Amino acid sequence: MASAIKRPRQPILPALSLGLLSASLSSCDGSWRQRIGLEKEPVAQPMPEVSDGPRSAPLKPGDNVIVEAVDRVGPAVVRIDTLKSVASPLGNLFGGRAPIQKQAGQGSGFITRSDGLIFTNAHVVEGADQVSVTLPDGRSFSGRVLGGDPLTDVAVVRVVADKLPVAPLGNSNDLKPGEWAIAIGNPLGLNNTVTAGIISAVDRTNAVGEGQRVPYIQTDAAVNPGNSGGPLINASGQVIGINTAIRQAPGAGLSFAIPINLAKRIAQQIISTGQASHPFIGVRLQSLTPQLAKEINATIDLCKVPELNGVLVIEVVENSPAAEAGIKPCDLIRDVNGTEVQDPSQVQLAVDRGRVGEEMPIVVERDGERLTLNVTPEELPRQQ
């Protein structure tokens, strides 16, 4: 039986393809004004601090390491209840306007600043008219959604409070399969539930569909509807991810979490501008294998490609940053902004780590020759 992929609260959001969208970017050159002193060079603004948690020393491994880790993070894990207005499923069955109903939802989150900053999933608070945040000690606050990013499923909520318990944030860059993975949340309406397992894999870019911009952490810790937005923590009592999706099959289940380093970067952008920024270069890519290369060379006269594993450009969007930089169909992408790439997902992630409007060197192989092309990404067009 085929496996089913689920978000712990709602269906998985559709992924956006890196190469099927186009955008325009306009700019003007003010360098002549700077030379004569009419304008000053812009000063980069510091990114907002999203966590004021204590920089505590890791816990020492022992018989009670999970208990100690939960004691450290648990007080900062919250239940998020939402209400949103939806049209009645009966619609305008008897004519007139469809009646509006209130739909309740529930998820999890965790406090990252003592003055009321909370991380959760975008799908938990999407479209919510009312957001209520409840702490394990029983205190409840009205929450305001600062913004959410459907591409990464990260959202930030603010409550008016101070001296709240804070979940320390860890480093998700160096995770290894086999490490402890502990999930805390409110699955199936059961508050403050703890489950534990191990990290099964990292950098799962194809976990919940193709074209993802998230290198998910895969775990075997039990996660269910209501866990969405809650923390995944390590044995040192630090948050390493945000639980976001589950994949179920008979006799087995896997869960996936957004790495906390990525969540912090998205949250900083949301706090600064109200939305996340995603660079776009305008290419469609295909994983190349020796067998596929043979088929291309035998059936297509447009170009000849080497018979090896790599990332092949199969389409360049007209007037896109990639087109303007000189990237062409049949190019092999070898390196993006200093990162070697071997499949389209790695290209996607490397581009997303760049900045809109800042040059990004991309190394391509064309007719056996390596070329470095400087691409200036634009903002990814947003779905209306």
CA nearest to 126, candidates 86, 164, 173, 159 = 86
153 is catalytic: yes
For tokens 């810790």, the residue is: 221
- As given in the structure block, the two tokens for residue 377 are 């990404």
Cα dihedral value 168, 173, 174, 177, nearest 10: 100
Sign of CA dihedral 25, 371, 362, 22: positive
Cα separations in angstroms, 322 against 30, 189, 315, 336 = 24, 48, 10, 12
132 is catalytic: no
Identified catalytic residue from 51, 81, 108, 123 = 123
Identified catalytic residue from 228, 236, 277, 320 = 228
- As given in the structure block, the two tokens for residue 239 are 């948050």
367 is catalytic: no
Q: How far is the first Cα of the chain from the last one, in angstroms, to the nearest whole number?
A: 36
Cα–Cα dist 63/41, whole Å: 57
Identified catalytic residue from 81, 153, 331, 352 = 153
Q: Give the active site residues.
A: 123, 153, 228
